[in-house]
Structure 1
């Protein structure tokens, strides 16, 4: 199937009552990964935005998109750290910026915000995975979300490959193995 056919299929899958009611998954959590070739990043971003709006309008679903990158930028802006980070990179280099941001915004910060803002949501979308790399790794977010998100579908939009076991970001960087999510599109 083409990328556009896969993107069109998302709305069909999500609007199915079985998907919304977590039927057919046994006792498994309802975490899904929509993986795609990173060369389609802009197309996927635009289409996911339209899909979310269509699902809200046509089906009355409460959907929340958590863009990890935008969340990080907001955290940095809220603490007036953008200029500090820029200066740090010039003076101390990218590795120091990476270390500082990982300390400032560990995965638990994102998990807590997602937990707090998703209690009355039907479906959670996690986006911005490629944009936030290497500050946050997607397998870390998924593993930590298991304990706080229950009984609602979560869809990770992933620029790379997922074969049901391995996550390969940008089709280049192997993330740790992750076995608990289902591919959204077979």
Structure 2
């Protein structure tokens, strides 16, 4: 899995942060939801292949769900991690907790935290180029954050690197569907890498 994507990411022209979608360097790669475990094994292997001397790319992979959990652990309320309070309230008032988590997942504070992590990685000195940030975990973070919302919120921050969202679902007629069923909203500004593979 992901073997078909490697030639695109290894292409020196595509690696340049300024090539392709210069004003909005975001891409989506769609894979079948039932291949989630195969994807999780394949992503580190793809990163390792990109690090080889003939390609020379060090990439960052971020599970967006894990990033949200870390954010809720770091944020405190009354001296306690917000995540602890959320877990305590979950059984008593699940709707309130749902609203609260959605608010934090779509907050400027969370997006800036994620964006600064991406930017710090891209600017880090080292022997390898750092053109790619891979973001996955969209099935896990649903329904708190959709890929389209994330890209809209990230737009001011996408500079100096390319973001590739790994999306468990389908793409048809310009529409991404999570698990092949749930519309992700309008992500028309992101390019579907699967279309490049079929061309």
TM value normalised by structure 1: 0.85
1:115 shift after superposition = 2.2
- Alignment of 1:146 with 2:147, yes or no, is no
The whole-number CA distance in structure 2 between the counterparts of 1:20 and 1:164 is 27
The whole-number CA distance in structure 1 between the counterparts of 2:107 and 2:47 is 25
Pair 1:46–1:110, CA change in 2 (3 A): farther
Question: CA-to-partner distance for each residue in 1:76-126, whole Å, 9 max, x for gaps?
Answer: 222423332222111112x22111112334242342123212232421111
Q: Which residue of structure 1 lines up, in the alignment, with residue 90 of structure 2?
A: 89
Q: Indicate which of 175, 180, 184 corresponds to 1:166.
A: 175
Q: Tell me, what secondary structure is at the counterpart of 2:135?
A: strand
Q: Which residue of structure 1 lines up, in the alignment, with residue 63 of structure 2?
A: 67
Q: Which residue of structure 1 lines up, in the alignment, with residue 10 of structure 2?
A: 15
Instruction: Give 5+ residue unaligned stretches, structure 1.
Output: none
The whole-number CA distance in structure 2 between the counterparts of 1:99 and 1:57 is 44
The whole-number CA distance in structure 1 between the counterparts of 2:19 and 2:48 is 26
Q: Which residue of structure 2 lines up, in the alignment, with residue 77 of structure 1?
A: 73
The whole-number CA distance in structure 2 between the counterparts of 1:22 and 1:82 is 36
TM value normalised by structure 2: 0.80
The whole-number CA distance in structure 2 between the counterparts of 1:9 and 1:110 is 33
The whole-number CA distance in structure 1 between the counterparts of 2:181 and 2:107 is 22
The whole-number CA distance in structure 1 between the counterparts of 2:50 and 2:22 is 26
The whole-number CA distance in structure 2 between the counterparts of 1:117 and 1:57 is 24
Pair 1:34–1:18, CA change in 2 (3 A): same
Number of aligned residue pairs: give it.
Answer: 180
Give runs of ≥4 in structure 1 deviating > 6 Å.
Answer: none
In the TM superposition, 1:35-184 aligns within 5 A as: 35-58=30-53, 59-78=55-74, 79=76, 80-93=81-94, 95-119=95-119, 120=123, 121-163=130-172, 165-184=174-193
Q: Indicate which of 19, 22, 25 corresponds to 1:30.
A: 25
Contact kept? 1:166, 1:178, Cα under 8 Å: yes
1:151 shift after superposition = 4.2
